[in-house]
Amino acid sequence: MGRNVQKYLPFALSGVAIVILLLSSCNGLRRGAKGLSSSFDESQESMIMDSNGQAPMRVYHITNQQDSILLRTSSVNVIPDGNDVVLERFINRLYSTVRDSMSMGVGIAAPQVGILKNIIWVQRFDKEEFPFEYYLNPVITHYSPDKQDCLEGCLSIPDRMDTTRIRAETIVINYEEMGGNKIIDTISGFTAVIFQHEIDHLNGILYLDHLDKEMNKE
């Protein structure tokens, strides 16, 4: 390497660094232009951010053909991120929806408002004061062999309730918190039924599907 090249090398490297920095900034701006969240596409963001605060969202019903198609589609994971304003807004609006006077449910899954993401809210009847809690990317890893009969209804299936006999008495679930922590929990009784019902939604399954299977076995 010649002396003159060595002399100007620091300036050349500085120039390269500036170019890289500018390119990185441009890429960041492009990413920002495409969406506010790493978990939601532009269409989903538009649905979530179309209202201020915690306004309820429209519940999808199987009586509507387009709604029914979406409800039969599997969801995908979200990226836990406490700084994701879209994710936070969606979690709040999903809660408002399940607690809305038109719904008043004990659980809800993201597909029921048209967002195919693995997020659910469940009322924990197995805890003091029966709190509502949300769960990111929940997966059932174990079903007990003992089953329980339960009268089930669904916000997406209006004006109907049926008794299912396929729900496990106890389940083990894995899920993530907003900060990314991975949690394992064991749930029993009626609360376990709610979890099974809502996680079914994430896989495009409705409780009516279990009734059909039971009828085919008889």
Do 199 and 167 form a contact (C-beta atoms < 8 A)? no
| pLDDT value for 7 | 47
Taking the C-alpha atoms of residue 138 and residue 118, their distance in angstroms, rounded to an integer, is 7
CA 88 to chain centre: 11
Residue 159 three-state SS: strand
| pLDDT value for 32 | 40
pLDDT digits (tens, 9 = 90+) for 130-173: 999 999 999 999 999 999 999 999 999 999 999 999 999 999 99
Query: Residue 196: in which H helix or E strand, if any?
Result: helix 189-202
- Tell me the domain boundaries of the chain: 37-217
pLDDT digits (tens, 9 = 90+) for 172-213: 999 999 999 999 999 999 999 999 999 999 999 999 999 977
Taking the C-alpha atoms of residue 37 and residue 85, their distance in angstroms, rounded to an integer, is 7
Catalytic residue (choose from 45, 152, 176, 198): 198
The sign one gets for the Cα dihedral 90, 62, 77, 36 is: negative
Can you tell me which residue has the tokens 């039971």?
214
Residue 218 falls in the annotated catalytic set: no
Kindly give the residue spans of alpha helices, DSSP state H, lying in 3-102.
3-34, 42-49, 65-71, 85-98
Residues 6 or more apart whose CB falls under 8 angstroms from that of 212 comprise none
Q: What type of residue is 6?
A: Q
pLDDT digits (tens, 9 = 90+) for 88-107: 999 999 999 999 977 789 99
CATH architecture of 37-217: Alpha-Beta Complex (3.90)
**Is 50 exceeded by the pLDDT of residue 26?**
no
The pLDDT mean for the chain works out to 86
Do 118 and 77 form a contact (C-beta atoms < 8 A)? yes
Residue 42 three-state SS: helix
Confidence (pTM)? 0.82
